[in-house]
Amino acid sequence: MKVGFIGLGIMGKPMSKNLIKAGYDVTVSDLNQASIDEVVAAGAKAADNKTIAETCDVVITMVPNSPQVKAVMLGENGIAQYMKEGQTFIDMSSINPEASKEISAELAKVGVKMLDAPVSGGEPKAIDGTLSIMVGGDEDVFNKYKELLLCMGGSAVYCGAIGAGNTTKLANQIIVACNIQALAEAMTLAQKAGVDPELVFNAIKGGLAGSTVMNAKAPMMIEGNDKPGFKIDLHIKDLNNALDCAHAVGAPVPMTAAVQEVLQWMHNREGGQKDHSAIAQYYEYLADIKIGR
């Protein structure tokens, strides 16, 4: 099976490398030549998007948002015009579910199947191939490519028709953001009350409050480590999509709106490229403290 992979950023680069390790014939494309060179050195071939569309059995995209996916697929010289019946498009970007439906409808006109398959887990899980993958589309297409997806993820779960993968991802991103904000508030409370935040973390992580989010982000907050595994600007993008989707379907999301304001505060103070755990810096600013330090 020939796999085309478009988008070699923080997530796409290690994901494509895991496909190479699994033995797939991978051809890659990206705007960053250094990223292309790195993945080619790992065993991939390089080509332009048109060649990928014409020669690969399945094309995967991992790009920032809906406009980029639509540009790659449906824009001027978009690859949809070069794909043909029997090929499959898997978008692993996190985008608006309505955009997934629009792209799928256009591809269906030429007999190309599509899955929307966003991921969760950030760069560490992209590197070790244990991402959680949420998939929308035809179930038979999902079953056909599940083995391929599991080369990049620890789980790949079918969620429903096209767009369901991205709806599930939006739900995931709401939970993650609200968990990080709650954790930052709790660590701030501990610090202001004179209790060591690290001891608080160790005491509660095995109880009901414990979570994957807490285990990953509490140590970063305590160390003051804001190196991005998942950038604040990308989480803002995801929550914008969540708010748009919620407004469209009439779902109340007041907590999402609140944490989005905190993320936007960070962005406006040149924090957009920091890890989303840097939400803690908003509380440090308000409380005039440094968590754990």
203 phi/psi in degrees, rounded to 5: -75, -35
Q: Could you tell me how many helices (H) and strands (E) the chain has, helices first?
A: 13, 9
Catalytically annotated residue among 17, 169, 231, 237 = 169
* Residue in this structure with the two tokens 């060591």, named with its chain if needed: 196
Q: Closest Cα to residue 170, out of 102, 269, 97, 76?
A: 97
> Where is pLDDT greater, at 228 or 164?
164
Q: What is the pLDDT of residue 271?
A: 97
Cα–Cα distance measured from residue 184 to residue 275, given in angstroms and rounded to the nearest whole number: 13
Give the CA dihedral 217, 69, 63, 90, nearest 10 degrees: 90
Exposure of 142 by Cβ count < 10 A (0-12 exposed, 13-18 middle, 19+ buried)? buried
β-strands 131-136, 153-160: how paired? Answer: parallel
Domain end position, chosen among 142, 161, 180: 161
Cα angle for residues 31, 37, 39 (degrees, 5° grid): 95
Residue 70 has pLDDT above 90, yes or no: yes
Residue 35 maps to which CATH number?
Answer: 3.40.50.720
Length of the chain: 293
pLDDT confidence band for 229 (50 / 70 / 90):
confident
β-strands 45-46, 58-61: how paired? Answer: unpaired
Mean predicted confidence (pLDDT) in 197-219: 97
Domain end position, chosen among 145, 161, 177: 161
Q: What is the pLDDT of residue 106?
A: 96
* Residue 35, token pair as written in the block: 């990223």
Q: What is the pLDDT of residue 215?
A: 97
pLDDT confidence band for 272 (50 / 70 / 90):
very high
277 phi/psi in degrees, rounded to 5: -65, -15
Residue 292 lies in a domain: no
151 phi/psi in degrees, rounded to 5: -75, -15
What average pLDDT does the structure give for the chain?
96
Contacts 24+ apart (CB under 8 A), 10-14: 10/123, 10/126, 10/228, 10/229, 10/231, 11/62, 11/92, 11/119, 11/122, 11/123, 11/126, 12/62, 12/63, 12/92, 13/38, 13/39, 14/123, 14/126, 14/127
Residue 118 has pLDDT above 90, yes or no: yes
Residue 9 has pLDDT above 90, yes or no: yes
As a whole-number percent, the residues of the chain with pLDDT over 70 amount to: 100
Structural domains in the chain (count):
2
Residue 58 has pLDDT above 90, yes or no: yes
Residue 60 has pLDDT above 90, yes or no: yes
Q: What is the pLDDT of residue 261?
A: 98
Question: Domain check: are 203 and 277 in the same one?
Answer: yes
Check if the beta carbon of residue 244 is closer than 8 Å to that of residue 148. Answer: no
Check if the beta carbon of residue 136 is closer than 8 Å to that of residue 164. Answer: yes
pLDDT tens column, 233-252:
999 999 999 999 999 999 99
pLDDT confidence band for 195 (50 / 70 / 90):
very high
As a whole-number percent, the residues of the chain with pLDDT over 90 amount to: 96
Residue 94 has pLDDT above 90, yes or no: yes
Question: Domain check: are 196 and 150 in the same one?
Answer: no
Q: What is the pLDDT of residue 230?
A: 87
pTM, 2 dp? 0.90
Mean predicted confidence (pLDDT) in 263-287: 97
Question: Domain check: are 148 and 265 in the same one?
Answer: no
Q: What is the pLDDT of residue 122?
A: 84
Question: Domain check: are 210 and 274 in the same one?
Answer: yes
Question: Domain check: are 22 and 145 in the same one?
Answer: yes
pLDDT tens column, 126-142:
999 999 999 999 999 99
Show the domain range for 14: 2-161
Residue 11 lies in a domain: yes
Is 169 marked active-site? yes
User: Helix 254-268 to helix 232-249 angle, to the nearest 10 degrees?
Assistant: 150
Domain end position, chosen among 161, 192, 218: 161
